[in-house]
């Protein structure tokens, strides 16, 4: 029996699940769940992963994450390893906490991310824990609909932007979209998974199979971190400088908090170069790695409000990835 396939490339989107060994509980109390969230926030800040949604159940968890840096294996090994060490130390136990390796399904973003988010957020309802998803505090859903704390490290913007540019309206429509599945039969998107590792249409599957160059999908681990050449931070900063008619040195200089060019450069370097947030912070005047994520989050919010800026950034993305 082959081990689960691992496909990595810049910008890949995954649905991750990891279950307790022998169905044992992986979260015993509130402190455990808070620690797990602290760990995934840290990996978001350090490695630039984008976390779209999560749900922490008693004996397993769901994560929907995007990896601009093509670093799924490194990130998930760190998250599960650190949490297991914490759990064993805190609860005076030893050995494996999770059942084997985590399960990672590669997802075609445009047609499936919304459906997958709804599936994850309704997990506590399907499990009979609560009657309505907003009553479950250990998922990202309350933040999405304005009924709970919004975390800076959750990527709310992409999902909500599918329902409009006004935050309150988008939250309401997203809630309707999610909870309409409580009224009738809405098929799980995971029923369409191909080869147990891919969720997408024919073109998406064809593209991924091409990346794998004919290697068997069910018997090998594939860790191809260089399926495409990543742009360098030099190329990104140069493109931003040319677009905004600014000097590269000024863009990288610390203290330019309200500079759209600087925020755009930090956002694009984080999203496309694959280097860590710590390294990005050093590039931009020695700012803290957590500030990198905050700047990127603010730029995404500005793009959601300003369609002209969003178009401009989109043109730069096409240029640097050409």
Average pLDDT, the chain: 87
Whether 82 maps to a domain, the answer reads yes
pLDDT in tens, 270-306: 888 878 888 899 999 999 988 998 999 889 889 888 9
Q: Does 149 lie in the same domain as 106?
A: yes
- Residues 125-150 have a mean pLDDT of 94
Polymer length of the chain:
322
Residue 86, classified by CB atoms within 10 Å of its CB into exposed (0-12), middle (13-18) or buried (19+), is middle
Residue 262 belongs to a domain with what CATH number? 1.10.1750.10
Q: Does 175 lie in the same domain as 55?
A: yes
- Residues 239-256 have a mean pLDDT of 90
In the predicted model, is pLDDT for residue 1 greater than 80? no
Whether 299 maps to a domain, the answer reads yes
Q: Tell me the C-alpha distance between 239 and 251, whole Å.
A: 11
pLDDT category at 268 given cuts 50, 70, 90 is: very high
Residue 230: predicted pLDDT: 66
Residue 213: predicted pLDDT: 57
Q: Does 299 lie in the same domain as 178?
A: no
Higher pLDDT, 221 or 317: 317
pLDDT category at 151 given cuts 50, 70, 90 is: very high
Q: Does 121 lie in the same domain as 37?
A: yes
CA distances from 111 to 58, 200, 205 (A): 30, 8, 13
Q: Would you state the structure tokens that stand for residue 63, as one six-digit string? A: 């994560």
pLDDT in tens, 165-192: 888 999 999 999 999 888 876 778 888 8
Residue 207: predicted pLDDT: 84
Q: Does 92 lie in the same domain as 146?
A: yes
Whether 162 maps to a domain, the answer reads yes
pLDDT in tens, 49-83: 999 999 999 999 999 999 999 999 999 999 999 99
Higher pLDDT, 318 or 112: 112
- Tally of domains within the chain: 2
Whether 228 maps to a domain, the answer reads no
In the predicted model, is pLDDT for residue 131 greater than 70? yes
Q: Does 180 lie in the same domain as 84?
A: yes
Whether 24 maps to a domain, the answer reads yes
Residue 30 belongs to a domain with what CATH number? 3.30.70.1290
Q: Would you tell me how many other CB atoms lie within 10 Å of the CB of residue 254?
A: 12
In the predicted model, is pLDDT for residue 322 greater than 80? no
Q: Does 240 lie in the same domain as 175?
A: no
Whether 34 maps to a domain, the answer reads yes
Domain boundary among 212, 247, 267: 212
CA distances from 79 to 40, 135, 171, 266 (A): 6, 26, 29, 25
Domain that holds residue 90: 12-212
pLDDT category at 5 given cuts 50, 70, 90 is: low
Whether 221 maps to a domain, the answer reads no
Q: Does 191 lie in the same domain as 269?
A: no
pLDDT category at 266 given cuts 50, 70, 90 is: very high
Residue 198: predicted pLDDT: 87
Q: Does 315 lie in the same domain as 169?
A: no
Q: Does 155 lie in the same domain as 52?
A: yes
In the predicted model, is pLDDT for residue 27 greater than 90? yes
Q: Quote helix, strand, coil % in the chain, to nearest 5.
A: 50, 10, 35
Domain boundary among 212, 246, 267: 212
Q: Does 253 lie in the same domain as 173?
A: no
Q: Does 151 lie in the same domain as 90?
A: yes
Rounded to the nearest 10 degrees, what angle do helices 260-272 and 307-320 cross at? 50
Domain boundary among 182, 212, 242: 212
Residue 4: predicted pLDDT: 53
Whether 75 maps to a domain, the answer reads yes
In the predicted model, is pLDDT for residue 257 greater than 90? no
């Amino acid at each position: 029996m082959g081990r689960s396939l691992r496909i990595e490339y810049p910008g890949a989107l995954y649905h991750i699940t990891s279950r307790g060994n022998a169905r044992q509980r992986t979260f015993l109390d509130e402190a455990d769940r808070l620690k797990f969230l602290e760990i995934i926030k840290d990996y978001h800040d350090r490695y630039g992963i984008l976390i779209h949604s999560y749900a922490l159940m008693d004996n397993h968890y769901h994560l929907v994450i995007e990896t601009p840096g093509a670093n799924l294996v490194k990130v998930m090994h760190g998250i599960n390893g650190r949490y297991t060490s914490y759990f064993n130390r805190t609860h005076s136990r030893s050995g494996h906490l999770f059942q084997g390796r985590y399960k990672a399904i590669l997802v075609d973003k445009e047609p499936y991310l919304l459906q997958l988010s709804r599936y994850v957020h309704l997990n506590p309802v399907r499990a009979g824990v609560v009657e309505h998803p907003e009553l479950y505090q250990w998922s990202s859903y309350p933040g999405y609909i304005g009924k709970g704390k919004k975390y800076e490290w959750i990527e709310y913007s992409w999902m909500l932007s599918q329902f409009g540019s006004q935050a309150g309206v988008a939250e309401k429509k997203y809630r309707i979209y999610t909870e309409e599945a409580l009224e009738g039969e809405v098929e799980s998107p995971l029923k369409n998974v191909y080869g147990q590792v891919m969720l997408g249409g024919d073109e998406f599957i064809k593209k991924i199979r091409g990346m794998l160059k004919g290697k068997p999908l069910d018997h090998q681990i594939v860790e191809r971190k260089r399926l495409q050449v990543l742009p360098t931070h030099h190329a990104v900063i140069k493109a931003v400088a040319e677009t905004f008619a600014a000097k590269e040195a000024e863009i990288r200089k610390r203290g330019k908090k309200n500079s759209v060019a600087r925020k755009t450069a930090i956002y694009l370097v984080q999203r496309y170069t694959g280097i860590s947030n710590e390294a990005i912070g050093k590039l931009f005047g020695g700012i803290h790695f957590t500030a990198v994520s905050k700047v990127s989050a603010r730029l995404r919010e500005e793009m959601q409000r300003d369609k002209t800026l969003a178009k401009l950034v989109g043109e730069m993305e096409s240029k640097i990835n050409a």
